């Protein structure tokens, strides 16, 4: 049987988001067709198409270029380019490939260019230049290779032929001509030898998805000369730097090449003076860019607002600009190639990526390109120091010589002089450098020190004579291994050293005597002393100055003296300001901060302590990148509180790192028992635009209680529990606790076996438990003994735990969670909860846990308005508040919030070995109008009532959970007819494995609550569930919700006297076990609990000692035993052929009968009599004649019944009945259920 195929739109929707060029990663998207092209394969074997796809994400709309090939057989060596299989409307079943990897597609595309072809509608046109138009073309057998690493394009190298070529496909399309194609073509036509030759391009058109009938035209691809054996100038420069070789000659030639290209561009496109309007627009655009970049980068650079304002004022005061012309607009060393012959060639005239598209091709000042190369040379020197390959002095001299040579070469060729001191040069330099800071913050936080240092120097007005242009950076690997920061003015922590480090350089140039501390403004010192400065590491801790001395500052209020202790001596500090002490010391190694401790005297003996402000950030580059993308699937390993241990020269270090997401905060600090609940002494540092705040506190220990103090934009401080805390105080206390897990699971066999099973088609008999009231007063460890023993004795396959995550109000039963990552402290340590799960597994019992991502409470100390603004909750009350429960609703469209929740699901599955999550209140998430009247909700963008962001979130969490943790199950408590709850996400479903069958529960309870004499009129309620039984994968729940709030216990729902009530309970449960679907009952139901459940009182365990109730308990034990041993009762729960009615219409007798089949054709016959009297000689059709075993009789005396039955054996005889070939005449007990199976021979 052929494997199933997927429609092409589904393949695209699944494949495109995983591609590097896809523009809307981590967002909810909508795809639609915007245009397309069909090419012809001369052999007629391969289908060739280009799909132009509109990608809508919120207000953003992109059109992407997707070449595809359709093959009847797999393409050898192209597995990574396979989208999947589909049924093509014309070609039939086909393998679908990314066309850029298919030689047949590439050949056809090149032929389109060579012939200057197009489509009949004129919406696609190709152009060939020069000799390529008269060439013989490129055959499908040509060697092609796709370059890796590109972010927004796909480039294919064609090696066959006399001249190697590179074919670039623009993936995210832009309206109008591509500046890169336009400029390169002009320069090729003009005969330039300073750019690669352009051979041709393709223009295409697509529909504007937001303007009916409008078409947009732009470049789809370009074909150019490929330079084999070339190296970019960036690599050449770094190689020279690391080898200790000058780069002056090469830089001078670079200057001449850039000048020639500027001349050629001026000739090709013209040049002219700027009009008054253009000059005004230039000034406004440059000032606005600097201000925008400063808003993004300012927190990393430091308090230089006044200097930035001064620069932008100077820009606004520019009276005259150089002549305007076309320029490169994103020129750096990486955009220039060195050929084998030693020439430089300039590439990629697309313009700077972060500039608006409209600005990339407008005439500009050539000095912008000059500045770009200057910064690139300076950056190369900074990288050399950052990586430890050169010393600061070598990098200083190398960069200075290279920049001067480049400028001289440019000036000689252009016949002009570049004034580095001019307002224009300085402003463009700052614009470029701030752009670098923004880029590094977003993409490579560990590298932000390189541009940050340069920006600080510029803003301080210094240059080479005033300070080193590149600072030395310690060996990062060694620093991390030692767990200490041998701090210099570079490195990842550079983001926090603006005041101290920069003051060192500017003051040093003015003649500060060696040994004086680096000065810091009084206002900053005051903010630091009060714990409200966003970059305390910039002031506190250790910092190297220009002279190589180390300044140490520490906040020690009320201290009588403070001494810095190193391996080589002691240095006494002086009180500087409001509890801040300062002093200087000599480094033990030049350029490195020594390992040190602080000896502090308050009132008595000295105390030796460590300094929290000398450590590297504990979040690495990968952590920051994944958090920014909303894809950190183990978020709990990065954020929250973590015990860490390091080795250092002065002895081992242990402490706790704290990290929290609070992007709207002005300041964050740790308030804890280890600092006397004075958070001002442990202010955290901002890690830039990520919104993460971080601090490592040496000496803090596991078990410490803490909170975060957060200063909001409104100027108010708020105390908040840690959203990522893995432990808490016992409610009603609200503090978070530092947890260090030492538990080692012993359930390897369980986990291994689970990973190979299909939980959706295996046995699942679930015992729902509220841990606090199963037996009052038990903790996790006691439950691990008593609950495990009991559940194992009863024979349930799984327990389902009502929410375990910490919640302040016991009466919420756990459904109003405040600490999503912490098992409730009411019953012990998180490791004790692991012990409970482990014991259940070792007893062969699976663990399902209720999980509540639908809403959270408004407690001021928890998630609500966490950093002073709406953050975890949606900012729109119509989407962010739940009218029924008085709670807040998560912002499912915000990537950080989705990440918080997806990681939380994985946390319980991976860290606690939970086997499944039952997701609470799914229906409330799916619908925008849930419990809302007209006017209280807004339709989605398609005009519907579905909450698209919540749906996307559920799909993400389900797909991720099933991908990462084999054998688990995701269960939906969903009470509507929403389509596809358990359909895989690849097929457009929500991706759950099982859905609670609330319809069966309501109908069957209404039926069983009727007096038997009336049940004939409601017989359909007992059978209707089979009409839709296979539309989803179902579980039949009799949960806690059915035995609270005045509904009474299951026993009390039953009509009749006590005997009849108990008989009804037994019959109902046996019917539930036999019905297709998994089953769940709430604790106490198994012995027919008398009273309605209350979390405050526990169960009526004394009833289980009485004969009637013990009989129900024994019957449930038998049900579970039969269930586990009878695959017919579970193996085909989701297969309609596993169920067969015998007689569903005998309402007159209140009786129904059916067969369950296993995968081997073995049956179990179930006959249920819900009338109050027995049926004597009741004829029922049977699968075949012969002896059948009465496997279960709920009326058996051992279960508390009357003993009406068939003495354990039933004889079926041949003869048609109920459409079956045999029948049996039975005694069917009153209010009883029989299970019959073929007798074993």
pLDDT in tens, 1047-1058: 899 999 999 999
pLDDT at position 151 is: 61
Out of 554-558, 1005-1009, 1045-1049, which region has the weakest mean confidence (pLDDT)? 1045-1049
Chain centroid offset of residue 814 CA: 25
Q: What is the pLDDT of residues 776-826, one digit of tens each?
A: 999 999 999 999 999 999 999 999 999 999 999 888 998 999 999 999 999
Residue 443 confidence (pLDDT) above 70: no
Give the active site residues.
Answer: 920, 973
Count Cβ neighbours within 10 Å for each residue of 723-758 and write b for 16 or more, e otherwise.
bbbbbbbebeebbbbbbbeebeeebeebeeebeeee
Count Cβ neighbours within 10 Å for each residue of 1020-1056 and write b for 16 or more, e otherwise.
ebbbbbbeebbebbbbbbbbbebbbeeebbbbebbbe
| DSSP state letter for 803 | -
The angle at the Cα of 809, spanning 803 to 814, to the nearest 5 degrees, equals: 10
Helix axes 449-459, 423-443, angle to 10 degrees: 150
Residue reference for tokens 């036999």 = 1074
Q: Is residue 527 classed as helix, strand or coil in its secondary structure?
A: helix
Mean pLDDT of 139-162: 78
Residue 480 confidence (pLDDT) above 50: no
Residue 466 confidence (pLDDT) above 70: no
Q: What share of the chain is helix, strand, coil (3-state, %, to 5)?
A: 35, 25, 40
Indicate the helix (H) or strand (E) that contains 1236: strand 1232-1238
Mean pLDDT of 938-964: 94
Residue reference for tokens 């998560």 = 890
| DSSP state letter for 203 | E
Out of 321-335, 472-486, 684-698, which region has the weakest mean confidence (pLDDT)? 472-486
Q: Answer yes or no: are the C-beta atoms of 920 and 852 closer than 8 Å.
A: yes
Cis preceding linkage at 151, omega within 30 = no
In the CATH scheme, what is the code of domain 998-1238? 2.60.40.1180
The neighbour count for residue 458, using CB atoms within 10 Å, is 18
At 178, is the pLDDT very low, low, confident or very high (cuts 50, 70, 90)? confident
Residues 6+ apart with CB under 8 A from 789: 843
Residue 469 confidence (pLDDT) above 60: no
- Reference 1075, options 1168, 1193, 1181; nearest CA is 1168
Sign of the torsion angle spanned by Cα atoms 238, 242, 247, 253:
negative
Q: What is the pLDDT of residues 373-425, one digit of tens each?
A: 999 999 999 888 888 888 888 988 999 999 999 999 999 999 989 999 899 99
Q: What is the pLDDT of residues 1093-1123, one digit of tens each?
A: 998 888 999 999 999 999 999 999 999 999 9
Query: What is the rounded CA–CA span in Å between residue 949 and residue 928?
Result: 10
Query: What is the rounded CA–CA span in Å between residue 814 and residue 805?
Result: 7
More reliable by pLDDT, 611 or 89 = 611
The neighbour count for residue 424, using CB atoms within 10 Å, is 20
Task: Provide CATH 2.60.40.1180 ranges for the chain.
Answer: 998-1238
At 229, is the pLDDT very low, low, confident or very high (cuts 50, 70, 90)? confident
Mean pLDDT of 842-849: 97
% of the chain with per-residue pLDDT over 70: 93
Residue reference for tokens 């040994």 = 515
Chain centroid offset of residue 935 CA: 33
pLDDT at position 27 is: 65
Q: Answer yes or no: are the C-beta atoms of 852 and 802 closer than 8 Å.
A: no
**CATH class (in words) of the domain with range 228-470:** alpha beta
Q: Answer yes or no: are the C-beta atoms of 302 and 538 closer than 8 Å.
A: yes
pLDDT at position 359 is: 58
pLDDT at position 707 is: 98
pLDDT at position 1241 is: 59
Residue 974 falls in which region: left (phi positive, over 0), alpha (psi -120 to 50) or beta: beta
Task: Provide CATH 2.60.40.10 ranges for the chain.
Answer: 617-720
Residue reference for tokens 């039952």 = 918
- What the block records as the tokens of 714 is 């409104």
In the CATH scheme, what is the code of domain 617-720? 2.60.40.10
Residue 1064 falls in which region: left (phi positive, over 0), alpha (psi -120 to 50) or beta: alpha
Residue 494 confidence (pLDDT) above 50: no
Q: What is the pLDDT of residues 746-763, one digit of tens each?
A: 999 999 999 999 999 999
H helices present in 865-997, as ranges: 877-880, 895-911, 922-926, 948-964
At 2, is the pLDDT very low, low, confident or very high (cuts 50, 70, 90)? low
Residue 1201 confidence (pLDDT) above 60: yes
Mean pLDDT of 925-949: 92
| DSSP state letter for 722 | -
pLDDT at position 502 is: 42
Measured CA to CA in angstroms, residue 1156 lies from 401, 917, 1031, 1135, 1223 at distances of 86, 28, 18, 11, 16
Residue reference for tokens 């190697």 = 164
Query: What is the rounded CA–CA span in Å between residue 21 and residue 221?
Result: 15
Query: What is the rounded CA–CA span in Å between residue 202 and residue 43?
Result: 23
Q: What is the pLDDT of residues 572-610, one digit of tens each?
A: 999 999 999 999 998 887 778 899 999 999 988 899 999
Q: Quote the strand ranges of 530-628, DSSP E.
A: 541-544, 550-555, 561-566, 570-572, 574-577, 580-585, 596-601, 607-609
The neighbour count for residue 621, using CB atoms within 10 Å, is 15
pLDDT at position 186 is: 87
Indicate the helix (H) or strand (E) that contains 711: strand 705-711
């Amino acid at each position: 049987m052929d494997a199933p195929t997927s429609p092409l739109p589904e393949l695209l929707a699944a494949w495109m988001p995983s591609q590097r060029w896809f523009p809307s990663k981590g967002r909810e998207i909508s795809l639609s067709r915007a245009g397309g092209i069909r090419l012809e394969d001369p052999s007629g074997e391969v289908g060739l198409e280009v799909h132009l796809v509109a990608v809508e994400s919120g207000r953003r709309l992109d059109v992407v270029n997707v070449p595809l090939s359709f093959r009847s057989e797999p393409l050898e060596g192209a597995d990574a380019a396979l989208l999947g299989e589909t049924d093509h409307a014309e070609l039939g079943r086909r393998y679908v490939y990314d066309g850029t990897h298919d030689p047949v597609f590439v050949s056809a595309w090149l032929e389109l260019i060579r012939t200057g072809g197009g489509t009949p509608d004129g919406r696609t046109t190709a152009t060939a230049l020069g000799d390529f138009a008269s060439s013989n073309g490129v055959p499908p057998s040509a060697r092609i290779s796709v370059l890796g690493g590109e972010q927004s394009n796909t480039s294919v190298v064609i090696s066959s032929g006399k001249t190697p070529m590179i074919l670039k496909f623009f993936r995210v399309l832009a309206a109008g001509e591509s500046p890169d194609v336009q400029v390169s073509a002009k320069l090729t036509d003009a005969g330039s030898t300073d750019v690669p030759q352009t051979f041709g391009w393709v223009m295409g058109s697509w529909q504007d998805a937001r303007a009916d009938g409008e078409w947009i035209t732009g470049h789809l691809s370009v074909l150019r000369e490929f330079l084999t054996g070339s190296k970019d100038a960036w690599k050449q420069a770094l190689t020279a730097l690391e080898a200790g070789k000058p780069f002056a000659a090469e830089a001078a030639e670079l200057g001449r090449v850039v000048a020639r290209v500027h001349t050629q561009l001026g000739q090709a496109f013209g040049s002219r003076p700027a009009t008054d309007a253009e000059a005004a627009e230039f000034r406004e655009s440059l000032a606005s860019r600097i201000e925008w970049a400063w808003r993004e980068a300012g927190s990393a650079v430091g308090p230089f607002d006044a200097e930035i304002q001064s620069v932008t004022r100077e820009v606004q005061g520019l009276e005259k600009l150089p002549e305007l012309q076309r320029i490169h607009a994103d020129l750096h060393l990486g955009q220039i190639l060195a050929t084998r012959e030693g020439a430089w060639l300039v590439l990629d005239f697309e313009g700077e990526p972060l500039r608006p598209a409209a600005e990339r091709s407008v005439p500009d000042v050539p000095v912008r390109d000059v500045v770009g190369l200057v910064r690139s040379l300076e950056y190369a020197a900074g990288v050399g120091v950052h990586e430890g390959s050169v010393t600061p002095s070598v990098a200083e001299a190398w960069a200075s010589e290279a920049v001067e040579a480049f400028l001289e070469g440019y000036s000689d060729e252009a016949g002009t002089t570049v004034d580095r001191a001019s307002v224009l040069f300085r402003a463009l330099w700052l614009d470029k450098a701030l752009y670098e800071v923004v880029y590094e913050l977003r993409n490579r936080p560990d590298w932000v020190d390189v541009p940050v240092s340069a920006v600080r120097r510029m803003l301080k007005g210094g240059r080479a004579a005033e300070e080193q242009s590149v600072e030395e950076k310690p060996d990062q690997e060694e620093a991390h291994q030692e767990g200490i920061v041998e701090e210099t003015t570079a490195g990842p922590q550079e983001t926090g050293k603006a005041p101290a480090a920069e003051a060192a350089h500017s003051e040093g140039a003015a003649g500060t005597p060696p040994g004086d501390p680096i000065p810091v403004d009084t206002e900053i010192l005051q903010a630091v002393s009060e714990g409200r400065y966003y970059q305390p590491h910039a002031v506190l801790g250790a910092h190297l100055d220009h002279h190589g001395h180390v300044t140490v500052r520490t906040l020690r209020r009320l201290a009588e003296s403070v001494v810095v202790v190193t391996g080589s001596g002691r240095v006494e500090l002086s009180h500087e300001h409001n509890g801040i002490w300062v002093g200087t010391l000599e480094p033990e190694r030049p350029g490195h901060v020594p390992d040190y401790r602080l000896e502090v005297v308050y009132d008595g003996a000295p105390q030796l302590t460590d300094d929290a402000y000398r450590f590297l950030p504990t979040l690495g580059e990968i952590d920051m990148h994944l958090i920014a993308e909303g894809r950190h699937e183990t978020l709990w390993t990065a954020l929250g509180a973590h015990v860490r241990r390091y080795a250092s020269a002065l002895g081992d270090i242990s402490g706790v790192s704290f990290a929290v997401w609070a992007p709207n905060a002005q300041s964050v600090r740790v308030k804890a028992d280890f600092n006397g609940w004075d958070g001002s002494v442990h202010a955290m540092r901002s890690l830039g635009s990520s919104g993460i705040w971080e601090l490592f506190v040496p000496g803090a220990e596991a078990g410490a209680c803490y909170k975060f103090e957060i200063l909001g934009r409104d100027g108010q401080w708020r105390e908040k529990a840690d959203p990522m805390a893995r432990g808490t105080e016992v409610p009603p206390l609200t503090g978070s606790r530092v947890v260090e897990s030492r538990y080692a699971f012993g359930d390897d066999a369980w986990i291994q076996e689970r990973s190979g099973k299909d939980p959706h088609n295996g046995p699942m008999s679930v015992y729902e438990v509220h841990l606090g009231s199963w037996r009052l007063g038990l903790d996790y460890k006691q439950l691990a003994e008593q609950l495990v023993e009991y559940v194992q004795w009863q024979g349930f396959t799984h327990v389902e735990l009502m929410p375990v995550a910490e919640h302040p109000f016991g009466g919420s039963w756990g459904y109003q969670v405040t600490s999503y990552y912490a098992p409730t402290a009411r019953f012990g340590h998180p490791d004790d909860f692991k012990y409970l799960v482990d014991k259940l597994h070792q007893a062969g019992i699976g663990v399902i846990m209720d999980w509540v991502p639908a809403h959270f409470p408004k407690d001021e100390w928890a998630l609500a308005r966490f950093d002073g603004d709406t953050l975890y909750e949606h900012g729109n009350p119509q989407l962010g508040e739940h009218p029924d429960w008085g709670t807040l609703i998560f912002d499912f469209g915000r990537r950080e919030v989705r990440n918080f929740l997806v990681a939380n699901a994985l946390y319980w599955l991976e860290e606690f070995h939970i086997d499944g999550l039952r997701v609470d209140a799914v229906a409330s998430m799916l619908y925008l109008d849930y419990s809302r009247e007209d006017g209280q909700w807004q339709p989605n963008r398609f005009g519907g009532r579905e909450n698209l962001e919540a749906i996307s979130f559920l799909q993400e969490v389900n797909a991720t959970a099933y991908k990462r943790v084999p054998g688990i199950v995701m269960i939906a408590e969903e009470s509507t007819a929403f389509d596809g709850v358990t359909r895989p996400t690849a097929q457009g479903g929500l991706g759950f494995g099982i859905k609670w069958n609330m319809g069966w529960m309501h109908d069957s309870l209404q039926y069983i609550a009727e007096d038997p004499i009336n049940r004939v009129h409601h017989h359909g309620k007992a059978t209707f569930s089979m009409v839709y039984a296979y539309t989803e994968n179902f579980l039949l729940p009799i949960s806690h919700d059915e035995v609270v709030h005045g509904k009474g216990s299951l026993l009390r729902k039953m009509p009749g006297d006590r005997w009849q009530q108990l008989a009804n309970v037994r019959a109902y449960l046996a019917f539930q076990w036999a019905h297709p679907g998994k089953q769940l009952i709430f604790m106490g139901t198994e012995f027919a609990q008398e009273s309605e459940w209350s979390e405050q009182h526990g169960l009526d365990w004394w009833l289980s000692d009485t004969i009637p109730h013990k009989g129900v308990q024994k019957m449930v034990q038998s049900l579970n035993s039969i269930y586990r041993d009878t695959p017919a009762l579970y193996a085909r729960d989701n297969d309609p052929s596993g169920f067969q009615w015998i007689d569903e219409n005998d309402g007159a007798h209140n009786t129904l009968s059916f067969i369950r089949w296993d995968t081997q054709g073995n049956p179990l016959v179930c006959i249920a009599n819900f009338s109050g009297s027995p049926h004597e000689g009741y004829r029922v059709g049977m699968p075949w004649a012969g002896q059948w075993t009465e496997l279960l009789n709920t009326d058996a005396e051992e279960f508390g019944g009357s003993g009406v039955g068939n003495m354990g054996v039933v004889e079926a005889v041949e003869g048609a009945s109920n459409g079956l070939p045999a029948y049996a005449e039975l005694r069917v007990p009153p209010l009883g259920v029989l299970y019959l199976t073929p007798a074993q021979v």
